[in-house]
Structure 1
């Protein structure tokens, strides 16, 4: 790796080593390509949602918890679920939440947001922090929504083929629900439908 880099048969004009070529030139191009691909795949809103949701992560004694991020998460992404009174209550709850949770030994082994939600219910602290608990429940629905969206797009490619491209939207919606929820549709017998 310490030998001079050769491009083809002769040595490169830049007088760089093989290690420098592979570490700097090639690696930087690959990292730039991956970052560009991630930027294309995740729009700014999705990225901001993930960053703000990470504030609820209980690992390392809630080191990522910031009350302004919690309030921004509720304000920007769940405006229909939180009134202005709820947002002010959420802000007040954030002031007491981390200190209260860290003082409780039942939350010591909490390592994920779903564990946090479960522990809040079991310890009945969800009643003391209802707005934070509501926000945690809303954040926990994100993976379900993402999986459902991916299944919907893959099933739409199967259902709406080139030969069936003039299908009405309502009929397409009905077919997609039946296709996505195959297990449920198979459990209903034809006689009860008729």
Structure 2
């Protein structure tokens, strides 16, 4: 079967012939991979990738295998300068050094699989009071999945709303429509009649709203 496929040819243009295998491998497969890489590069810039990489240093997986004081300090200094003063940055390093000796070998912190679990155990054992700056940084890191999910929802909404039939939609109208779509749980509680009454009271409309 494979030999038959390789023997077949696909007419790419009037001057050249390629095998079916070459067509699917290079003309289709590679094109799809390039498109996916382009999408990933567009959605995740260098800063986003770096912050995700640095935040791994606080992950408790595999008995804190990736824990690195220097990486964590770089994360706080570079991406959260407004959340830590210069003095707190110095204290953060001190806390992390004690944290490495205390928490990483504590029996309550073994076999954790997520940063949210780590924060939960820190609070439950009252160690969050001793490592308050570490706790603050963990809370900041835990906002990342929310931000990423919001971005993904926005891209999905944009693709659904701005279709080929609506390709002339202006940016402001698109933004307003996307907000309503993304926050549709809140939008469902909006009273349409009240909206119509408010618009009707603003100025004279060309068309009667009610």
TM-score (norm 2): 0.66
1:162 corresponds, among 156, 164, 167, to 167
CA contact (8 A) 2:154 2:182 kept: yes
Instruction: Please report how far the alpha carbon of residue 93 of structure 1 lies from its aligned counterpart in structure 2 after TM superposition.
Output: 0.7
Q: 1:71 to 1:190 in 2, by over 3 A?
A: same
Name the CA distance, whole Å, in 2 between partners of 1:78 and 1:85. Answer: 14
Equivalent position of 1:146 in the other structure: 148
2:62 corresponds in structure 1 to 60
Indicate how the Cα distance of structure 1 residues 150 and 119 shifts in structure 2: closer, same or farther if over 3 A, else same: same
Indicate if the aligned counterparts of 1:152 and 1:180 stay in contact, CA closer than 8 A.
yes
**Paired residue for 1:16?**
none
What is the CA-CA distance between 1:119 and the residue it aligns to?
0.8
Bigger Rg, structure 1 or 2? 2
Residue 61 of structure 1: SS of its match in structure 2? helix
- Asked whether the 8 Å contact 2:62–2:111 carries over to 1, the reply is no
**Shift in Å, 1:102:** 3.1
Gap runs ≥5 in structure 2: 1-5, 9-25, 199-210
Q: Specify every segment of 5 or more residues in structure 1 that has no aligned partner in the other structure, as ranges.
A: 1-6, 10-25
Return the alpha-carbon distance in structure 2 between the equivalents of residues 157 and 105 of structure 1. 48
* Partner of residue 40, structure 1: 41
Q: 1:86 aligns with which of 85, 88, 92?
A: 88
Question: CA 1:184–1:157 in structure 2 vs 1: closer, same or farther (change >3 Å)?
Answer: same
- Match for residue 23 of structure 1? none
Number of residue equivalences: 164
TM-score, with length taken from structure 1 = 0.71
Counterpart in 1 of 2:109? Answer: 107
By how many angstroms is 1:186 displaced? 1.0
Contact kept in structure 2, 1:52 and 1:69, CA below 8 Å = yes
Query: Shift in Å at residue 91 of structure 1?
Result: 0.8
Q: Is the 8 A contact 1:62 1:98 kept in 2?
A: no
Q: How many Å apart are 1:173 and its aligned residue?
A: 4.2
Question: 4+ residue runs of structure 1 moved beyond 6 angstroms?
Answer: 191-194
